[in-house]
């Protein structure tokens, strides 16, 4: 489980938040809320270890993430604003490479299945530069289907997605939580996950 205690973070001279404490247990989902610029992305990036907190500690299963390092990274998945896909590569190549980077060797069949479930049938082999914004986001989100990470950190996962895709993400989240996974995410769109209580954290 993830435990955050007394976390403070600033960008430049501007203090974004301080004294932030929460914990996330298996099977729980938490939405980080706040106006633009309130530090949602900074919080998620701090949880990933990209940003050093000014104060406080982030612990995963009782140990600080700074000390766990690679053990923590093998159990978490981060999806940021940027899709991390290459225009020159096909959807299939992109998915297999990003799975490979996260430590999972994915064979072609599994990758194809994941892309088809994301609604990208017959687009698997196209270079992603010819895909639309929403389709590219789907390629990035296909990683959720092939990952065995326990903690998902999703920054605005619903950007550019249509209604059908949002429903798909909701069912994915429900499935992940049912498997005792954990999710922390931000969004400005309504998102309902059936059967679980959505916790929320407000930054102001």
Q: Which residues make up the interface to other proteins (CB under 8 A)?
A: 48-52, 70-71, 73-74, 76-78, 80-89, 93, 97-98, 100-106, 110, 146, 148
Closest to 2 measured CA to CA, from 68, 52, 50: 68
State the first-to-last Cα distance of the chain, in angstroms, to the nearest integer: 25
What is the nearest approach in angstroms of other proteins to the Cβ of residue 137?
12
Query: Could you tell me the strand order of the sheet in which 198-202 lies?
Result: 76-79, 151-155, 182-186, 29-33, 198-202
CA 151 to chain centre: 8
Q: b or e along 88-100 (b: 16 or more beta carbons within 10 Å of the residue's beta carbon)?
A: ebbbbbbbbbbbe
What is the nearest approach in angstroms of other proteins to the Cβ of residue 14?
15
What is the nearest approach in angstroms of other proteins to the Cβ of residue 84?
4
Distances (CA, A) of 49 to 22, 106, 144: 17, 26, 20
What's the Rg (C-alpha) of the chain? 17
Which of 99/169 has CB closer to other proteins?
Answer: 99
What is the nearest approach in angstroms of other proteins to the Cβ of residue 71?
8
Query: φ, ψ for residue 135 (rounded to 5)?
Result: -65, -35
What is the nearest approach in angstroms of other proteins to the Cβ of residue 124?
16
Which of 48/59 has CB closer to other proteins?
Answer: 48
State how far the Cα of 159 lies from the Cα of 191, in Å rounded to an integer.
12
Which of 118/153 has CB closer to other proteins?
Answer: 153
Which of 114/168 has CB closer to other proteins?
Answer: 114
What is the nearest approach in angstroms of other proteins to the Cβ of residue 119?
22
Which of 105/197 has CB closer to other proteins?
Answer: 105
Which of 59/193 has CB closer to other proteins?
Answer: 59
């Amino acid at each position: 489980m993830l435990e955050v205690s007394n976390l403070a973070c600033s960008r430049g001279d501007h203090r974004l938040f301080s004294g932030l404490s929460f914990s996330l247990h298996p099977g729980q989902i938490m939405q980080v809320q706040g106006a633009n610029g309130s530090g949602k992305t900074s919080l998620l990036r701090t949880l990933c270890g990209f940003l050093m907190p000014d104060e406080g500690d982030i612990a995963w299963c009782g140990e600080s993430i700074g000390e766990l390092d690679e053990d923590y990274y093998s159990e978490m998945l981060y999806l940021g604003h940027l899709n991390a896909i290459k225009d020159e590569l096909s959807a299939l190549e992109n998915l297999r490479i990003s799975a490979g980077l996260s430590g999972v060797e994915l064979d072609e069949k599994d990758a194809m299945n994941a892309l088809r479930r994301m609604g990208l049938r017959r687009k698997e082999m196209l270079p992603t530069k010819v895909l639309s914004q929403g389709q590219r986001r789907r390629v990035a989100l296909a990683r959720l289907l092939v990952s065995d990470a326990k903690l998902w950190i999703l920054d605005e996962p619903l950007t550019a997605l249509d209604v059908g895709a949002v429903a798909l993400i909701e069912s994915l989240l429900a499935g992940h939580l049912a498997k005792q996974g954990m999710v922390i995410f931000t969004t400005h769109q309504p998102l309902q996950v059936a059967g679980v209580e959505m916790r929320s954290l407000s930054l102001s």
